[in-house]
Chains A and B, each alone.
Chain A
Amino acid sequence: MTFSIRRFRAMVKKEWKDAIRNPQILLNAGMPILLALLFKQKEVDPSDLTFLSVPILVAISITGAFVQANMIAEEKEKNTLRSLMLSPASKLEVLAGKSATTTLFALIVIASCLAISGVPDVNLFFLTVLAILLLLIFMALGTVIGLIARTASESSIVGLPLLLLFIFGPIFVPSLGMPALMNIIHVLPSQQFVVAITELLQDGGLSEIGGNLLNLIMWTVLSGALCLLVYGKKRFDK
């Protein structure tokens, strides 16, 4: 597979110009900031360390998955993805261009959320590694959602189960007392992220978060492979 920096930069430039004029993408990016403001109003129970990781989780998951899904689904809806696929741009260049733009959005949103909720007192290196892996996973899942959905608005509906399970699962399921559901939630990358941040907040190190990191790496590889597989299949019509 070819990769041209010129074509990659062209994609990023186009995506950025287009995205900052897209109300739906701006809404998706603005939602985590709004949630961070709401969370700030809530009195945090000092014993419940989970809530300290929530603003970052919400920022990464909503921006990563939904901005990416929206960008891809709209390309399909407006038949511009076909034009890109009929140009010399490879699927890697197209995906990398979109992912880089989503990352830019995510960085801005994460920075805004952290500015509102405060930076958790943890090892920043580990926090960054965990955040990058989680972002990659959600962008890959967002790409799959975008490719499955027929329109930009449909991407929000297709992505709703992901939102409920992956984002709100780690926040609300622990308090529901449903062990079967909790077993499912436990293998999700979002839950592993929350657990890892909680460990780091309790002065944990690599030995404490090693299992969580491994889980996130596996999710990154699997979701990346799924995303390339689905995207590759879309090159040809049925």
Chain B
Amino acid sequence: MGNLLFTALFTAKLGWSFRLLMSREGVIVMESIIEVNDLEKRYKKKQALNKISFQVRQGEIFGFLGPSGSGKTTTVKILTSQLLYTSGRVKVLGIDPARSRPSEFLGKIGVLTDNSGTYERLSVYDNLALFCRLYGVPKRRIETVLDAVNLIGDKHTLVGRLSKGMKQRVTLARTILHEPDILFLDEPTSALDPVNSERIQKTLREMNRRGTTIFLTTHNMQEAEMLCDRVAFLNNGEISALDTPQALRLRYGDHSITVTTPLGKQIVQQDEVGAGFIRDLIRRGELLAIHSNEPTLGDIFVKLTGRGLE
């Protein structure tokens, strides 16, 4: 009863319509931080989004996967108050981004798009110092975020002299400067080398552990598999699948197993015949290796939509 009352008061105070749940540890967990229902966006001649619905839970990394032109960027622009939608209902942090008071709402989100710009005649430090002042964040945060994106040694370099990948790291540093509640990341590692990609992914995971919800759009399946708690496949403005990567692999896999014997590799099905065959191999000491044949997210996307992600 007490919990229910507290929950109701908390909900009323925030003015949010989300259901709040008590976890086993007694910590309040917000069920949805982004709610999208029947979202439709029509441009003059093109239907960009066709009544899509999804929820993003607080504290999760949500992957929005699809090829170019599938509607990913349109969705991010709507969720971040850059674009008005045609119909449907959208709530981000409990408010409609199209009707919100921007400074309040925008102070709680961080947005990294593929064309986020930087001031090229200013140093890396001056670029970040500007946004520290705009967000009301102490300047000591600059050191922390520069360390996270591996740019501490280039603090005083003019941004115009940096490579494309380094500029992308500056914009990422700027995006996480104010430790937003939700991070919207559009291809955050697309211009980075493997070492820096890994470092950025580590930073994102750390931020997520500290409570930041991440909405990641990408066509990099490997990155999505490594980072995302749940993924949605977007194709031609429609969501064709939404679940955890593991659940999708199990649902769309063919449940076969590859066994390696002295004669080579062989695919067997997970049924009575396959089980008997494997038991025989073990009895004869001929089973050298065994692997389940789970499809990648890329394979599943092709299976569902008939097209690749590039």
Contacts and interface: CB of A to CB of B under 8 A. Distances in A.
Contacts, number: 84
A237 interface: yes
B111 A88 contact: no
Q: What band does the interface of chain A fall in when counting residues whose beta carbon is under 8 Å from B?
A: 20 to 34
A153 B253 CA distance: 55
Interface string B73-113: 00001001111100000000000001001111011010101
In the complex, the 3 A-B pairs of residues with the closest C-beta atoms, listed nearest first: A79-B117, A10-B133, A80-B117
A22 B122 CA distance: 11
Interface string A1-41: 01000110111011001100110000000000000000000
A55 to B, nearest CB: 30
A82 interface: yes
A17 B159 CA distance: 14
B30 interface: no
Given A82-B82, A87-B131, A17 B117 contact: no
25 contacts: A2-B103, A7-B134, A9-B133, A10-B134, A14-B119, A14-B122, A14-B130, A78-B117, A78-B119, A80-B118, A82-B82, A82-B115, A82-B117, A83-B171, A83-B174, A85-B102, A86-B109, A87-B106, A87-B135, A88-B106, A236-B83, A236-B84, A236-B98, A237-B82, A237-B83
Nearest to A22: B121
Given A83-B174, A88-B107, A236-B84, A17 B131 contact: no
A237 B103 contact: no
Nearest to A6: B133
Contacts of A17: 121-122, 126
A90 interface: yes
Contacts of A82: 82, 113, 115-117
B119 A80 contact: yes
B136 interface: yes
Given A7-B134, A88-B135, 14 more contacts: A2-B103, A14-B126, A17-B121, A17-B126, A18-B119, A75-B117, A79-B117, A80-B119, A83-B116, A83-B171, A85-B82, A87-B131, A88-B106, A235-B82
Interface of A: 2, 6-7, 9-11, 13-14, 17-18, 21-22, 75, 78-90, 235-238
A22 B102 CA distance: 30
A75 B115 CA distance: 12
